[in-house]
Amino acid sequence: MLITLNFVTTPAMFPISPEDDRGAILLLLITAMMAAALVASLLLIYLRRRRTRRMLEERVAEQEALIAAGRALVAAELNLDALCNLIAEQAGQIIDNRTFQVGLFNEGYYDIRYWTIDGVPQPVPQVFDLEAQHSVMGEARGLVGWVRDSQQPLLVGDFEREMGQLPARPNYESESPPRSALFLPLISGGRTLGIVSAQSRRPYHYGEQDLRQLTILANQAAAAIANAQLFVQERTRAVHLEMVTRIAVQANAAEDAEGIMEQVVSLTHSTFGFHPVSVFRVEPDSRMVVVQASSMPELRPERPDDSVEATRLLGLPIGYGIVGAAAEMRHTVVVNSTAEDDRYLLMLEGMAPESVPDTRSEIAIPLVVNNEFLGVLDVQSPEVGAFGTTERMVLEALAAEVAGAVYKAQQWAREQEQAWVTTAQLQVAEAIGRHDDRDEMLEAVARLAPILAGVEICGFFAWNEDKERYLGMTLADAVGSADEHFTQLELGIGDWSTLDAVHVGCEALTTTQIPAWLDKWQPACLRLYPLISSQGKNLGVMVVGLNAADACVESGEKDHPNASAANPREELILNIARQTGQALERTYLRLAQQEEAWVNTALLQVAEAVNSLTDLNEILDTIVRLVPLLVGIDSVFILIWNDERQVFNIGPSYGVSSMGRGLVETLEVDRDEFMAMSPQLAQEYDLSRQPNTGYYPLRVPVWLETVLNTPVVYGFPLVARGQLVGAQIVGLQQDRHGRASVSPRRFSILNGIAQQAATAVVNNQLYKESAERVRMQQELDVAHTIQASFLPDGSPDIPGCSVATLWQAARQVGGDFYDFLPLDDGKWGIVIADVADKGVPAALFMALSRTILRTVAFNRDDPAHVLMRSNEIIGREARADLFVTMFYGIWDPATDQFTYSNAGHNPPLLLKTNGEFQVLTGNGIALGVLPEVHMESQSVRLRPGETIILYTDGVTEALNEDFDEFGLERLQVAARAAAGQPSSEMVKHIDDSIRDHTGQTPQFDDMTLIVMKRRRGKSEKQG
C-alpha cells in the first residue's frame, strides 16, 4: 500500500513571515513523520500475516505428512522388516534420517531391523545382548537400555556438553561419534517394543519440534509393530504346532525308542532348520546322558570308528554343560547367547575344528514322563536369540510328545522282557517246588538255568557251618551233562579268592580266572552269586559260566560301557539265585525246626529240674547229670565265682574220676588262671562285663586234662544280669581232624544249659540279697520308730503361741530334729537342727546331739551359752567326722521376748503383721567343727499376729525335675499367702507348695519345718 500526500501552496495565498516559515517547516516535518509511522505499521502487519500464513501452511503440511505416514503404517503389510523400513522412510519426511536406526526388544536382546549411517545401509538384522559388557553402539546397557526401562524419549543437543546430565553414559568407539541424537521408545500395551533413534554429527541438529513429530510417528509405528508381531507370532505358532503334530505322528509310527529318536532328530532338523538337533538318553547305571540320535553325523552312536575312545565322545556327566544342567535340574535351559554362558561346550574332545557347528543359541529340554527322567532334547542355532517364548513353547510341546512316545515304547519293551522273565521264573519256581530234598532241588535248578538263561554251565556250592567249608553239590550244562568231580569239592576260605570275596562281601562277582576243576567246559568267564537268606545269612553260592560273546566284566570294572544291570538275562539269573536261596532257607528252616523242638525239650527238662529245687548245690548237681544224657558229652563240672574272695570255687561235676574229683575239690581257680585258660575271653571280656560269645575253647592245663581225660575242653560262661557268675567246663572227644565231635546245635544246647545254671546261681544270690534287704528294712523301720519317738509333740501348748511342725526324713531315718523344752519361769526352749549327713549315721549323731543339748539347756538360760557348751561336749565325745547346724531360741511369754542364738543353721524368718519378713540372723558356726566357738544371743519382740518360721535346708533346697530349688523366696511367698491361717494350716500350705514345685522328683534331703505364731488374743485357740 502506497499513500501519497500532496500539499500545494502559493505565496499569494498566505503571506509568510520568518516566524511563519519556521512553523510551516515544523508542521511539514510532523506530518512527514506521521506518514512514515503509518507506513511502517502497515508494513509490520503485512509481514506478520505473511509469517503466520507460512507457519500454518507448514503445520498443515506437517500434519498431512504425519497423517500420510500413519496411513502408510496402517496400510503396510504385517512384515516386521518391511515395516521397519517404512518407519525409516516416513521419518525421513519430517526429520533428517541419514543416520537412523529401528531396533526391537526380544527377551533381553536388542534386534536391529533397520540401520543406516550417513545414508549407508548397515547389514541387518543384528542381535545384541543388553546384558553384555558392550553393544555395537558402545552402550553397556546405556541409553538404549535406559529408554527401554524408563519408556521416556531422550533429546541430546550436544553429547560433549551434556554428557554429565545424561541418564546413562554412551561409549562410542567411532572416531567421529555423533554430537546430537533422538531416542524414542516404541510403546504398546505398556511394553517397550523397541526404539527409534536418529543421530547426527552436528550439535543441536534436532530440536523439540523434531522430537514432537518423531514421537507422533513412533506412537503410530508402535501400534503397527505390535500388530505385526502378534500376527507373526500367531502364524508362527500355528505353523510350528502343525509341524509338531506331524513330527509326533511320524515319531509314534516308529516301533522302538531308538527309531522314535531318529525320526524326531531328522524331522526337527528338516522342518525348523535348527542344527544340530540331538536326543540324549539317560544311562541307568551312571550319572551320564549319552547321545542316542543326532542330526550331526559326528555325534551319532553309529560312528565308523566305533571304539571305546569314540564312544566316550557321546556322553556327558549330569550337571556338565547345558545338556547336563537340564538333566540335573529337570527343567528347560535356554541360552540365547552361547558366547556369554560358560556352560556351552565349544567343541567335543577329539572332533575336528571344522566339524564343530557355529552355535550361537542353544536350548536343552528334559524328557520327563510321570516323574521319570528319560533324556534330553538339545537344539542349537547359529543365530543369537533364536529361542524366544514361541520357539521354547513349540519345542517343549515337541519334547512332551517325544517323551510320551519314548516312554510308551520303553514300557512295551519292558513288558515284553518282563513277560519272558516271568515265564522263566515260573518254570524255576515249579522245578523248585517239585523237590523237598535239597540235593534234588539244586540238581533240577542247575539243569534248568542254562536252558532258560542261556549260560554255558550252572553249579551250586553249599556252605557247611560245621566244617566252615563250601561243599560242591551239583554242576550241569545246557545239554544236561553233569560233573561228578564237582560234588567231591570242599573249598575252605583261602582256596579260591573269588569265592572268598563273595563269602565276605555277599555280592555277585565276575572273574575270568577259571579254576582247574572247570577245564572240561572252559567258559570265557564265571559269575558267582551268593545265596543269602532273609536274615542275611550265607547259605551257599551259585556259579554260572558265560561265553565269549557275553559281558565278561571283571569285578570292579563297573564303569565299562557293557556293564549294565538292566540286562534282562542278568535279572533272570539274579532271580534264579534268589529263588534258590529262599528254597535253601526253607529247607534248612524245616530241619532247624525239627532239631529246635528236640533242643527245647532238652532245655525244658533242665528248666523243670532247676525250678523244682531250691538248694544251689542240688540244682547244679542235677544239671551236670542231665548234660551228658541230653548232649552226649563225656565230662563236665561247674565253676562258681566267689566275689568276696575273688576266686572260682569248684562245684558239682560229672564224668570225673574219684581221684580227679578229689583233686578239683581242693583247688581254687583265681581270675588270672581262668583268663590264662581262655585267652579269647581275656581279650574281649573282664569280670565286670558280659562276654560276646557263648563258649570258648580253653587252653587246657595238665591238671584239667587229667581230670577230664581229654585235651579238647570248652568253657561256657555263666552270665546273668551282665555279670560273670561262673563257668561250665565241658570235656569233648575229638575227631580225626582234632576238632570237637559235637555239632553247633549241641553247642547251642550246652550254652542254653549254661544260662540255666547261671540263672540258678543268680537266683541263689538274689535270694540271699533279698533276705538281707528284708532284714535291713526291718531294722530301719525299727530305727525310724525309735527316732520318731525322740521328737516331741508337734503342737505343744506354749503360752501365747500356736505351734505346728513338719518332719520328713529322706530315708527311713535322718539327721534333722526339733525339740520343745519347758524351762523354768514359764519359758520355753525351741530347737531345730540338721546333721550334715543322711541315713543311719546322721540319725545316731542326731540322737547324741539332742541328748547333749537337752542336758545343757536345762542348766543355762542364755541360748548362746547353751550352744557353746553343747559344742564343747560334742567335740569331746563324738568320734565321727560329723557336725550339726542348730538354732536355739527361748520364748518368754511374760515379756513377749524371743531370745535366740544360731550355730550355722538356716536363719529363721519373722513374718510381721504387715507382710514383711525379718531374717533372724546369727554369727555362730556349726557344732562339732571347732572345739571352741564364740556365739552371741539376740532378742526380738514377738507381737500378736506375728509368726516365726524355722526350717532346715531340705525345705529351701528341694529340687524339681529341672534342678531348680524351692528357695527362700518361694518359702516367703507361701508363708505370706497363709499368714491369716492357723499355724497348722500354714505348715500344710507350705508343704503343698513344696510338693507342687518338686512334682514327681524324689526327696533328696531331710526336711523339717516349725511355725510358731503369736496369738492375737486370749480367745484364739491352739493352731
Amino acid identity of 611? N
- 255-303 tens-digit pLDDT: 667 777 887 888 788 877 888 899 998 887 678 888 888 888 877 765 4
- 227-249 tens-digit pLDDT: 877 777 777 666 666 766 766 66
Nearest CA-CA partner of 115 in 126, 129, 107, 130: 126
Q: Is the pLDDT of residue 866 over 90?
A: yes
CA dihedral 721, 724, 726, 732 (to 10 degrees): 110
- 182-215 tens-digit pLDDT: 999 999 888 898 999 999 999 999 988 888 888 8
Range of 480's domain?
Answer: 435-591
DSSP 1002: P
- 684-699 tens-digit pLDDT: 444 444 444 456 666 6
Q: Are residues 282 and 301 in the same domain?
A: yes
Q: Are residues 502 and 382 in the same domain?
A: no
Over residues 644-668, mean pLDDT = 76
**b/e burial code for range 967-988 (CB count within 10 A of at least 16 → b):** ebebbbebbeebbeebbbebbb
- Check residues 712 and 504 and name the one with the higher pLDDT: 504
Report residue 296 CA to chain centroid gap. Answer: 44
The pLDDT value given to residue 699: 66
Supply the pTM of this predicted model: 0.38
Over residues 105-113, mean pLDDT = 82
Q: Are 956 and 971 in contact (CB under 8 A)?
A: yes
Q: Is 599 part of a structural domain of the chain?
A: no
Give the residue ranges of DSSP H helices in 791-881: 839-857, 863-877
Q: Are 560 and 553 in contact (CB under 8 A)?
A: yes
Nearest CA-CA partner of 332 in 290, 292, 376: 376
- Distance in angstroms (rounded) separating the CA atoms of residues 569 and 573: 6
Q: How many domains does the chain have?
A: 6
Distances (CA, A) of 554 to 186, 444, 453, 498, 545: 68, 29, 20, 11, 13
Share of the chain above pLDDT 90, in %: 23
Q: Are 971 and 990 in contact (CB under 8 A)?
A: yes
Q: Are residues 939 and 801 in the same domain?
A: yes
The residue from 37, 54, 75 where one domain ends is 75
| CATH for 565 | 3.30.450.40
Q: Are residues 69 and 112 in the same domain?
A: no
Q: Is the pLDDT of residue 390 over 90?
A: no
The pLDDT value given to residue 251: 59
Q: Are residues 878 and 850 in the same domain?
A: yes
Cα angle value 558/560/562 (rounded, 5°) = 105
Q: Are residues 212 and 289 in the same domain?
A: no
Q: Are residues 746 and 869 in the same domain?
A: no
- Distance in angstroms (rounded) separating the CA atoms of residues 444 and 81: 80
Q: Is 1021 part of a structural domain of the chain?
A: no
Q: Is 423 part of a structural domain of the chain?
A: no
The pLDDT value given to residue 260: 75
The residue from 769, 801, 836 where one domain ends is 769
In the structure, what pLDDT confidence band is assigned to residue 12 with cuts at 50, 70 and 90? Answer: very low
Q: Which three cell numbers stand for residue 393?
A: 513353547
The pLDDT value given to residue 135: 42
The pLDDT value given to residue 136: 42
Over residues 421-436, mean pLDDT = 79
Q: Is 604 part of a structural domain of the chain?
A: no
- Distance in angstroms (rounded) separating the CA atoms of residues 771 and 978: 47
The pLDDT value given to residue 13: 44
- Distance in angstroms (rounded) separating the CA atoms of residues 233 and 358: 26
Q: Is 253 part of a structural domain of the chain?
A: no
Read out DSSP for 572-606?
Answer: HHHHHHHHHHHHHHHHHHHHHHHHHHHHHHHHHHH
Nearest CA-CA partner of 755 in 727, 731, 732: 727
Q: Are 95 and 89 in contact (CB under 8 A)?
A: no
Q: Are 458 and 440 in contact (CB under 8 A)?
A: no
The residue from 75, 104, 125 where one domain ends is 75
- A 10 A CB-CB count for 387 gives 22
Strands of the 372-381 sheet, one edge to the other: 315-317, 288-294, 277-282, 372-381, 361-369, 333-335
Q: Which helix (H) or strand (E) holds 83?
A: helix 80-91
DSSP 959: B
Q: Are residues 305 and 379 in the same domain?
A: yes
Over residues 475-483, mean pLDDT = 78
- Check residues 771 and 461 and name the one with the higher pLDDT: 461
Q: Are residues 665 and 758 in the same domain?
A: yes
Q: Is 874 part of a structural domain of the chain?
A: yes
- Check residues 697 and 907 and name the one with the higher pLDDT: 907
Q: Which three cell numbers stand for residue 497?
A: 579268592
The pLDDT value given to residue 939: 95
- In terms of Cβ atoms closer than 10 Å to its own Cβ (0-12, 13-18, 19+), residue 815 is buried
Q: Is 606 part of a structural domain of the chain?
A: no
Please give the mean pLDDT across all residues of the chain.
80
- Distance in angstroms (rounded) separating the CA atoms of residues 158 and 772: 112
Cα angle value 941/942/947 (rounded, 5°) = 145
Over residues 162-167, mean pLDDT = 87
Q: Are residues 472 and 486 in the same domain?
A: yes
Q: Are residues 513 and 661 in the same domain?
A: no
Q: Which three cell numbers stand for residue 800?
A: 501365747
Q: Are 455 and 449 in contact (CB under 8 A)?
A: yes
The pLDDT value given to residue 542: 94
The region of weakest confidence among 336-340, 431-435, 799-803 is 431-435
Q: Is 495 part of a structural domain of the chain?
A: yes
- Distance in angstroms (rounded) separating the CA atoms of residues 449 and 576: 8
The region of weakest confidence among 58-67, 104-113, 381-390, 500-509 is 58-67
Question: 822 by DSSP, 3-state: which?
Answer: strand
Phi, psi dihedrals of residue 109, rounded to the nearest 5°? -110, 150
The pLDDT value given to residue 183: 93
Nearest CA-CA partner of 733 in 632, 588, 815, 630: 632
* Sole residue written with cell 553325523: 297
Q: Are residues 456 and 519 in the same domain?
A: yes
Q: Is the pLDDT of residue 622 over 90?
A: no
Over residues 605-610, mean pLDDT = 74
- A 10 A CB-CB count for 99 gives 19
| CATH for 993 | 3.60.40.10
Question: Residue 830 contacts by C-beta under 8 Å, 6 or more apart in sequence?
Answer: 818, 819, 820, 821, 888, 889, 890, 891, 950, 1010, 1012
Radius of gyration over every alpha carbon of the chain, rounded to an integer in angstroms: 56
Report residue 281 CA to chain centroid gap. Answer: 31
